[in-house]
A and B are shown apart, each in its own frame.
Chain A
Amino acid sequence: EVQLVESGGGLIPPGGSLRLSCTASGFRFRSYAMSWVRQAPGKGLQWVSIISSGGHAPHYADSVEGRFTISRDNSENTVFLQMNALRVEDTARYFCAKGYSDSSGYSYFDHWGPGIQVTVSS
């Protein structure tokens, strides 16, 4: 059974940094792209970032480009999201999602974690 578990969320003041982790199990982690998708309170889904199975070719939404960095450790079955220069509008529940293939491009997401809350507030 595929399982994705996010961690590292919390309350952070504007301008601060946070690193989210997502630990995977139940599938061959190194063979699939991984992504982050967020959902602000009471709002819809917003795709944030994706990374290929090999850790190459990351892509970012315009709203986080230059502030967020996605990476992965295939030996630990974990994907990360380093979030810097956080803004109030980054407040959301952040979901880790598994891509259907190894590529970071052109992917839908066939499994999702329960999500972790990030609140940016002074």
Chain B
Amino acid sequence: DIVLTQSPDSLALSLGERATINCKSSQSIFYSLNNKNYLAWYQQKPGQPPKLLISWASTRESGVPDRFTGSGSGTDFTLTISSLQAEDVAVYYCQQYSSLLSTFGQGTRVEI
């Protein structure tokens, strides 16, 4: 199975600061056939189900604020929150869907 390792495990920042969350894959999840990276990012707030933020490593879902940006390719990916807001307090997960058996990273907790 493909293993995703997120770093850091937790992050505490001030309002307005930039948050950077990394996700490293144990093997490449880029397919040259369609030039796509098979990686998604989710946000999970306490007591709620996960919410899809980004697919294909960098495609923001409709309605997701543009302070959320996904980047990276191959095995190394990043979710950046450009200016942290109070409502961004959550756990963030990456997911690879490049294999038939999907896997998630262990999560990164973001706090103010």
Q: Please give the residue numbers on chain A whose beta carbons come within 8 Å of chain B beta carbons, in ascending order.
A: 35, 37, 44-47, 50, 59-62, 95, 100, 104-115
Contacts and interface: CB of A to CB of B under 8 A. Distances in A.
Given A45-B50, A115-B49, A108 B40 contact: yes
A100 B91 CA distance: 22
Interface in B39-81: 40, 42, 44, 48-52, 55, 61
Nearest to A44: B107
A14 B104 CA distance: 26
Nearest to B36: A106
B102 interface: yes
From DSSP, what is the main secondary structure of chain B's interface residues?
A: loop
Given A62-B101, A108-B55, A112-B49, 5 more contacts: A37-B104, A106-B99, A108-B40, A110-B61, A112-B50
B38 to A, nearest CB: 6
Interface residues of B, number: 26
A109 B96 CA distance: 11
Interface centre among B91, B98, B100, by most A CB within 10 Å?
B100
B52 A59 contact: no
Contacts of B103: 47
A6 B103 CA distance: 22
A97 B95 CA distance: 13
A45 B97 contact: no
B107 to A, nearest CB: 4
Contacts of B52: 108-111
Nearest to B102: A47
B102 A50 contact: yes
26 contacts: A35-B102, A37-B50, A37-B104, A44-B91, A44-B104, A44-B107, A45-B95, A45-B104, A46-B104, A47-B102, A47-B103, A59-B101, A62-B1, A62-B101, A100-B55, A105-B100, A106-B98, A107-B102, A108-B95, A108-B97, A109-B50, A109-B95, A110-B55, A110-B61, A111-B52, A112-B51
